[in-house]
Structure formats: structure tokens, C-alpha cells
Amino acid sequence: LQESVRKIKFNREMGERYMLLQELLREERNLGIAEGRNLGIAEAVINLLSFIGEVPDDIIDRVMAEDDADKMSEYLRVAARADSVCAFRRETGL
């Protein structure tokens, strides 16, 4: 196996493909980490809201579907200071 890897690295065309594959895998990994973070933040938002009232399904669905990290941070900040689910909805437009 090590010999095969050496041959691939020395072959220019295969080396370029290998580097491209490595970059794609790195991007996929970073995307997965970002999505995981957003999922964790979404769960935190819903959890915070559940302490102040019943969270309607439409808010849950929209928060869970959000993939913009800035929006998720905004939702978390608003949820942390909201005194009701209605106030959260009003401030976020959800």
C-alpha cells in the first residue's frame, strides 16, 4: 500500500487529483463541522424558548432549517433575552 501511495504522489496527474481529493474532503469536513455547529445552536435556541413557553412547530422547523451562521447567532441572542416566544417571533420575524 505504501508503495502505491508513493507512485501516486510521484505521478503528476495522479498527484493533482490526489490534492484535489484532499481539498474536497477538507471542505466537506469543514462544512460538516459548520452544519453540526448550526444544529447545536438551533437546539439551544429551541431549548431556551421552551423554558419560556411552548414553541410552535413552525418556529422549530424554521430554526432547524436555518443554515446561515449569522442568523443562528442572532436567534440565539434573541432567545437568550426574550421573555416570551411571541417576543422572540416578533424580534426575529419568524
Is the whole-model pTM more than 0.85? Answer: no
Question: What percent of the chain is predicted at pLDDT more than 70?
Answer: 62
38 neighbors 67 (Cβ within 8 angstroms)? yes
What is the tens place of the pLDDT at every residue in 39-53? 788 889 999 999 999
Map 26-81 to HEC letters. Answer: HHHHHHHHHHHHHHHHHHHHHHHHHHHCCCCHHHHHHHHHCCCHHHHHHHHHHHHH
What is the tens place of the pLDDT at every residue in 8-25? 556 666 566 556 657 766
What is the tens place of the pLDDT at every residue in 61-92? 999 998 888 898 899 889 998 999 999 999 99
What is the tens place of the pLDDT at every residue in 23-32? 766 776 666 6
